[in-house]
Chains A and B, each alone.
Chain A
Amino acid sequence: MTRKGTFNFRLFVADQTQNSVQAEANLTAFCRQYLPDRHHIEVVDVLREPKRALDDGIFMTPTLVVLAPAPIRRIVGTLSQTLTILQTLKLDNQAA
């Protein structure tokens, strides 16, 4: 199921709140482990750029938007469950 190509992530965070900091750390660690050199992460702070949260319909922080590969998916939360993320990204066969 693995596909070559870059994973394009946009992570909406709320400043340095505990959940947001955790999510950013989890995402970075995840990418390092499973998607080395195959990812791009954009971090958007909704407190600084609330307009973008409004436009993207972000209501909960942190929210990870998987922009590519299609389809667009959203994962809400601290991204603490690695298995869930792998399943969402269809990378679960790699996890084993």
Chain B
Amino acid sequence: MKLASRALAEMPVKARTGITGFDDITAGGLPRGRSTLLLGGPGSGKTIFAVQFLVHGAQHEKEPGIFVAFEESPRQIVRNMAGFGWQLEPLLRKKLFFMDAQLKPEIIQSGSFDLSGMLAALAVKARQMGARRIVFDALDIVLALLPDAASQRREVYRLHEWLVEHEFTGLITAKDGGDEATAPGLKQFGFMQFMLDCAVILNHRVDHGVSQRNLRVQKYRGSSFSEDESPFVIGSGGLDVAIARTLGRADAAVSLERVSSGVERLDTMLGGGYYRGASILITGYPGTAKTTLGGAFAEAACKRGERTVYVSFDSDGAEMMRNLTSVGIHLGRFAKSGMLRVISARTISGSAETLLVRIKALAREHKARCLVIDPVSTLARAGNELTAHGVAERLIDWAKADGITLVCTSLIDERANHVNDGIPLHVSTLADTWINLNYLLQAGERNRAMSIIKSRGTAHSNQVRELILSKSGVTLADIYTAGGEVLMGTLRWEKESAQRVADEVAEVGGQLQRVTLDAEEAVLEVRVRSLQKELMAKQVERRLLDRTTETREDELSRGRKRMRELRGADIAVPEAK
């Protein structure tokens, strides 16, 4: 075969499993040409893991595989795997072979045995089909028949040697209590973990009735790997391992583009809106209009023609849309046109991990650019307290990597202690923008106050604004501070109108004063003119008087002279007395 003839050195060191997340944890997959042990309890997903590994090899890596089934019949396995959409049937002809190695109940055992027969038969089959990957499923069943630990060890060693000799990438699954059973002696086949090159443990536990699955790479000779437990779910496409922040993924496209929050003044407060691809957290007590802000964002996104997914955990999707109509947010038409996809997830139960996987799948399916999760605190429901934080982290991580603008609302539990702001998920540290909604109880009113607690990379207003919901939409209003107190609602309105009245009064007063002064001026002017007239009159009178006096005196002197002349008196007549 083509691949078999190639020197091992030329091949990549690792064989990809095609399991989402697992190849990231192990930096490439299982050790090629070596053997890996997959341990887990019943129902932990060992067989699915193994089949997925083979299917991926056969379909995408040109590595046909053989599945040795010790426990289930091949037909059963194929039927069980049908749900994952892997299309096993076409592979079964040449690229994937299921070997029925079930121990028939009629088999009688007498004394020790070994696996040489199987390995010899396998070698023939592998050569026939050019197989490169071999899975031994439920090897523990065979090992349990061996009389002592030494024989068991010998057979595992034989298997390992055989795999290495033929340069097969081997995967051996075995039942085990998983990490729960760490006490020595509880692990039946603990020696296998020492002998093989790589060990992966699948854990399955139930917290508060919620199933939690975890995968952990216990050892990996010659390779670095993520040592932590990683949650996984068995989804529609097989295993889906949740990976925490993978190194080297910081290259997610960082955008300077701003997208509207759907509230005009909020955009202004943020210096232009949210960043594209940012994660926004809106926190608040029940009824503080978190959903409204989420809805406003969704509406704005749809108006821009961006495909949007709205996940509503609290209320039914249709109900949520109806309620938003009352504040002027109309999502109905976008839902109808397919731009918006509203998911009512109230009834979806399961682990936080499951929810995340479903949200991711839905968002991918919808090709969403914007995503609203209302509220994200649902992830921390009973049974998920431990995992929810990690899930929220990965949610943000994933949204960033995919360039999705994410708006999460989060309920603040009023009963929670406020040491951590009462936010159960501590998402606040991860979110790029954190908007807090609050109530202000004052003068018998409850008013909504909004403030931006943080917004990375954007200048943002430090002001508290009052959030006003009305039929025409969501608006923000300045609030008044008076005497060290913030005024909102009616008090703000009163303050505003008082101010208006005062302004008017001042204006009118000014006008009145001007008019009065004008009048006084006019009066004075009039008086000045009349006085002048009077003066002129007096002067005339005076002149008249002067003239009259003169004329009389003239008349008098003339009269005396005439009399004397008439009397003919002596010239030297003395003055009559």
Which positions in A face B, CB cutoff 8 Å? 12, 14-15, 17, 19-20, 22-23, 26, 46-47, 50-51, 53-54, 57-63, 73-81, 84-85, 88
Q: How far is the CB of A11 from chain B (nearest CB, A)?
A: 11
Inter-subunit contact B108/A59 (CB<8 Å)? no
- Which one, B110-118, B253-261, B362-370, B560-568, is touching chain A? B110-118
| Chain A residues, CB < 8 A from B108 | 73-76, 84, 88
- Of the candidates B113, B116, B120, B123, which one forms a contact with A76 in the assembled complex, judged by CB atoms under 8 Å apart? B113
Inter-subunit contact B116/A14 (CB<8 Å)? yes
Q: Across the A-B interface, how many residue pairs have beta carbons closer than 8 Å?
A: 98
Q: Using known A-B contacts A59-B101, A76-B107, A79-B110, determine if residue A54 contacts B116 with beta carbons closer than 8 Å.
A: no
Inter-subunit contact B110/A77 (CB<8 Å)? yes
- Of the candidates B100, B116, B142, which one forms a contact with A17 in the assembled complex, judged by CB atoms under 8 Å apart? B116
Inter-subunit contact B111/A60 (CB<8 Å)? no
Q: How far is the CB of B450 from chain A (nearest CB, A)?
A: 70
Inter-subunit contact B117/A77 (CB<8 Å)? no
Could you list 17 A-B pairs, sorted by A, with CB under 8 Å? A14-B117, A17-B116, A19-B114, A22-B111, A23-B111, A50-B120, A53-B120, A54-B125, A58-B118, A61-B113, A74-B107, A75-B107, A75-B108, A76-B108, A76-B113, A79-B110, A84-B110
Complex Cα–Cα for A19 and B109 (A):
13
Q: Using known A-B contacts A14-B120, A50-B123, determine if residue A77 contacts B106 with beta carbons closer than 8 Å.
A: no
Inter-subunit contact A54/B112 (CB<8 Å)? no
Inter-subunit contact B121/A60 (CB<8 Å)? no
Interface members, chain B 113-158 (any A CB < 8 Å) = 113-118, 120-121, 123-125, 142, 145
Does B249 have its Cβ within 8 Å of any Cβ on chain A?
no
Inter-subunit contact A47/B116 (CB<8 Å)? yes
| Chain A residues, CB < 8 A from B100 | 57
Nearest-neighbor residue (CB-CB) of B100 within chain A: A57
Q: How far is the CB of B405 from chain A (nearest CB, A)?
A: 56
Complex Cα–Cα for A74 and B297 (A):
71
Inter-subunit contact B117/A46 (CB<8 Å)? yes
Which positions in B face A, CB cutoff 8 Å? 100-101, 104, 106-118, 120-121, 123-125, 142, 145
| Chain A residues, CB < 8 A from B112 | 19, 77-78, 80
Q: How far is the CB of B75 from chain A (nearest CB, A)?
A: 15
Inter-subunit contact B117/A53 (CB<8 Å)? yes
- Of the candidates A46, A57, A63, A73, which one forms a contact with B113 in the assembled complex, judged by CB atoms under 8 Å apart? A63
Q: How far is the CB of B93 from chain A (nearest CB, A)?
A: 17
| Chain B residues, CB < 8 A from A84 | 108-110
Q: Using known A-B contacts A51-B124, A54-B125, determine if residue A60 contacts B117 with beta carbons closer than 8 Å.
A: yes
Where chain A touches its partner, the secondary structure class is mixed
Nearest-neighbor residue (CB-CB) of A58 within chain B: B117
Q: Using known A-B contacts A14-B120, A46-B121, determine if residue A19 contacts B113 with beta carbons closer than 8 Å.
A: yes
Complex Cα–Cα for A80 and B106 (A):
18
| Chain A residues, CB < 8 A from B111 | 19, 22-23, 26, 77-81
Q: How far is the CB of A19 from chain B (nearest CB, A)?
A: 5
Complex Cα–Cα for A47 and B142 (A):
20
| Chain B residues, CB < 8 A from A80 | 110-112
| Chain B residues, CB < 8 A from A62 | 113, 117
Complex Cα–Cα for A63 and B121 (A):
14
| Chain A residues, CB < 8 A from B115 | 59-61
Q: Using known A-B contacts A54-B124, A54-B125, A57-B100, determine if residue A12 contacts B110 with beta carbons closer than 8 Å.
A: no
| Chain A residues, CB < 8 A from B107 | 74-76
| Chain B residues, CB < 8 A from A26 | 111
Q: How far is the CB of B551 from chain A (nearest CB, A)?
A: 169
Task: Give me the 5 closest cross-chain CB pairs, A-B, nearest first.
Answer: A78-B111, A14-B116, A77-B111, A59-B118, A61-B117
Nearest-neighbor residue (CB-CB) of A66 within chain B: B108
| Chain A residues, CB < 8 A from B113 | 19, 60-63, 76-78
Complex Cα–Cα for A12 and B106 (A):
17
Nearest-neighbor residue (CB-CB) of A80 within chain B: B111
Nearest-neighbor residue (CB-CB) of A63 within chain B: B117
| Chain B residues, CB < 8 A from A19 | 111-114
Inter-subunit contact B116/A75 (CB<8 Å)? no
Complex Cα–Cα for A58 and B248 (A):
49
Complex Cα–Cα for A12 and B117 (A):
8
| Chain B residues, CB < 8 A from A58 | 117-118, 121
Complex Cα–Cα for A60 and B114 (A):
5
Q: How far is the CB of A58 from chain B (nearest CB, A)?
A: 4
| Chain B residues, CB < 8 A from A61 | 113-117
Q: How far is the CB of B123 from chain A (nearest CB, A)?
A: 6
Complex Cα–Cα for A62 and B292 (A):
74
Q: Using known A-B contacts A23-B111, A78-B113, determine if residue A73 contacts B106 with beta carbons closer than 8 Å.
A: yes
Complex Cα–Cα for A22 and B114 (A):
12
Complex Cα–Cα for A60 and B101 (A):
10
Complex Cα–Cα for A62 and B113 (A):
6
Complex Cα–Cα for A47 and B114 (A):
13
Q: How far is the CB of A83 from chain B (nearest CB, A)?
A: 9
| Chain B residues, CB < 8 A from A51 | 121, 124
Q: Using known A-B contacts A50-B123, A51-B124, determine if residue A60 contacts B118 with beta carbons closer than 8 Å.
A: yes
Inter-subunit contact A59/B110 (CB<8 Å)? no
Complex Cα–Cα for A74 and B121 (A):
17
- Of the candidates B101, B106, B114, B124, which one forms a contact with A50 in the assembled complex, judged by CB atoms under 8 Å apart? B124
